[in-house]
């Protein structure tokens, strides 16, 4: 005869670390499959940005949970720009120069992310003169050709890791939370505890 039980779980899932796994997997896939790898690099780059935004939420929640608990209604941290500025402030370090790597890369990434999140049709109007012995031009144009490449993906991953190291080092002195860990992208994907007891109805 089955016994009715109830299990209670409490914990956290570190979504930014799961998102970083997507970045690592896409880079690995691109290395193994060169044909079409530009799309793997595109995903890795966009998910690098998502990782950083998730990491900012993680740190912000650890250092100022009262702000992040009401994030949607708090104009100061509703945007990525606001979150970044607030996290640097909470860490007690100046916000880096947006024109210098690694921080510059983040703002380039935001533009790429916005292009992906809000895709718009690109109108093309061009007149090309050619002879009948030359191929006629076509619209075989990839809008990501100038924004995404193997090298740019590697720079993106490196710069996101560097920025997270800078923030994590400063933020770790502001919290004694054991789940904050030594590495912003490494460590457990989640933690929790649970208990199972007889169900009382």
Alpha-carbon gap, residue 26 to 3, rounded angstroms: 45
Give residue-wise pLDDT tens across range 65-106: 999 998 888 888 999 999 999 999 999 999 999 999 999 999
Q: What is the CA radius of gyration of the chain?
A: 22
Residue 137 pLDDT > 80: no
Mean pLDDT throughout 178-184? Answer: 85
Alpha-carbon gap, residue 184 to 33, rounded angstroms: 29
Alpha-carbon gap, residue 152 to 146, rounded angstroms: 10
pTM attached to this predicted model = 0.86
Least confident span in 124-128, 137-141, 159-163, 167-171? 137-141
8 A C-beta contact, residue 160 and residue 105: yes
Q: Locate 113 and state its tokens.
A: 């992310």
Taking the CB of residue 3, how many other CB atoms lie within 10 A of it? 6
Strand bridging mode 5-13 / 190-198: antiparallel
What single-letter DSSP state applies at residue 176?
Answer: -
């Amino acid at each position: 005869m089955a016994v009715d039980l109830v299990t209670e779980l409490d914990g956290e899932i570190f979504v930014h670390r799961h998102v970083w796994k997507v970045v690592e997997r896409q880079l690995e896939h691109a290395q193994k499959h060169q044909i079409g790898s530009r799309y793997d690099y595109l995903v890795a780059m966009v998910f690098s940005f998502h990782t950083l935004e998730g990491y900012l939420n993680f740190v912000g929640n650890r250092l100022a949970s009262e702000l992040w608990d009401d994030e949607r209604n708090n104009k100061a941290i509703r945007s990525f720009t606001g979150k970044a500025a607030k996290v640097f402030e909470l860490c007690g370090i100046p916000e880096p120069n947006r024109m210098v790597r690694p921080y510059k890369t983040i703002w380039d990434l935001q533009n790429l992310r916005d292009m992906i999140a809000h895709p718009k049709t690109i109108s093309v109007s061009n007149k090309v003169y050619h002879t009948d012995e030359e191929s006629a031009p076509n619209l075989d144009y990839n809008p990501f050709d100038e924004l995404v490449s193997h090298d740019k993906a590697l720079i993106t991953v490196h710069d996101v890791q560097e920025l997270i190291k800078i923030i994590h080092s400063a933020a770790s002195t502001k919290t004694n939370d054991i789940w904050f860990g030594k590495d912003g992208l490494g460590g457990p994907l989640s933690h929790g505890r649970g208990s199972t007891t007889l169900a009382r109805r």
